[in-house]
Structure 1
């Protein structure tokens, strides 16, 4: 794949979409340059709906190919540009990566991201009214369970799915970085998880995420601090 034609490569995204962030991390790790185009996907602009009738971000344009669904995009990138790898070699290890990607993009998103980010940010951005305190409290309770599960995994492994960085780490970091932007992660709950996030946060692939700015939602002081 040619990396010298950024004009042909475009990612339609929203800055605090964890699914967009997962793809951004994969692209950056593989050094595939893309033009970032912010998309207010909930407005269902007809041109955007032509790109993805599902009306979701991210949508990746690589040359003449238009692709949607974040995990499918990441696995496509793995197939066409396998270096550096984000999926391990063995079938069993690949299963564990995919299991954890599903965990964060489904269970974590449903129990935590949608309740915290959804209520605190997206309701305001989309004009949906005030946060529902019941959902916020449920998300705040649930994230403790997920951080403890991550700590348990990391007590046995260098990274979430094994001894090598993988797409599972990027899926988790995509969600947590969005929540960190609104100061909804208690990094003091687990030094193990905090150290893991510090390692991810310091990677060159993470730089564009740390520069994100969402009008009306200023970054907290620690967000872009590599040492917290």
Structure 2
């Protein structure tokens, strides 16, 4: 059965990266459209009235479905392409993977991205002026708290949600990878998290992420180094 998929995304958006990682891990072919979502392009808001990335447009049997935003897309992909299973094969692991996805998409995004990415990325894109140092400090402090929590999980588990790699790992890696693009992750202070990220970073699905570049926003020197 022929299925055509187009992902509308912004390369430095953690939510978009989660979907790209899942599609890559499942070896699902798709085309890409990069979206400058902050400009509210009408052709994109027609697909998703919230104006948020990502959006997956999927056509099969001459019927087109538009699936908006990461959680809906990830659940849809898992239903349509069940192997390899990325939510876990046991009920407990699936519940933990979903909890971690929510953790990163809500708590981490609010406490870390809301400061670091707002100051370092969104202000540049929106031409809002120089970063605020107190906000950067607040975001970096919160980042260390989250890394400490991840470190405690990974000292007891093979992966964040348990014995197997899951969408919980992709959620964490997607968020951290954008923070790492700007060089703000203190990897040396969290060895278990660093080892976990190196394993993920070495997977084929991560290669497009490491190739991401955006005009005027250069990545840190170690960003695409597999042995950082």
- 1:207 aligns to what? 207
In structure 2, the residue matched to 1:23 is 19
- Aligned to 1:160, the other structure's residue is in SS state coil
Q: CA RMSD in A?
A: 1.1
Residue 88 of structure 1 aligns with which residue? 88
Q: Give distance in 2, aligned partners of 1:184 and 1:36.
A: 28
Per-residue deviation, 1:36: 1.5
| Runs of 4+ residues deviating >3 angstroms | none
Alpha-carbon separation, structure 1, partners of 2:67 and 2:96: 25
2-structure distance, mates of 1:88, 1:209: 23
Aligned residues: 224
State the match for 2:28 in structure 1: 32
SS of corresponding position for 2:95: helix
Inter-partner Cα distance in structure 1 for 2:8 and 2:37: 9
CA deviations on 1:123-152 (whole Å, 9 max, x unpaired) are 111222222222211101000110010010
* Alignment TM-score, normalising by the size of structure 2: 0.95
- Determine if the alignment matches structure 1 residue 46 to structure 2 residue 42: yes
Farther off after superposition, 187-196 or 120-129: 120-129
- Shift of the alpha carbon at 1:91? 2.1
Q: Which runs of 5 or more residues in structure 1 are unaligned?
A: none
- 1:61-87 per-residue CA deviation (whole Å, 9 max, x = no partner) reads 111111112011101100110101101
Unaligned runs of 5+ in 2: none
2:157 aligned residue:
157
- How far apart are the structure 2 equivalents of 1:190 and 1:45? 40
CA–CA distance in structure 2, aligned partners of residues 217 and 62 of structure 1: 31
* Counterpart for residue 189 of structure 1: 189
Higher mean C-alpha displacement, 169-178 vs 81-90 = 81-90
Q: How does 1:1-228 map to 2 (within 5 A)?
A: 2=2, 8-63=4-59, 64-228=64-228
Q: Distance in 2 between matches of 1:66 and 1:157?
A: 36
Q: State which drifts further: 84-93 or 169-178.
A: 84-93
Paired with 1:18 and 1:186, the residues of 2 have a C-alpha distance of: 19
Deviations 1:64-117 (A, max 9, x none): 111112011101100110101101122222111111100001000100012101
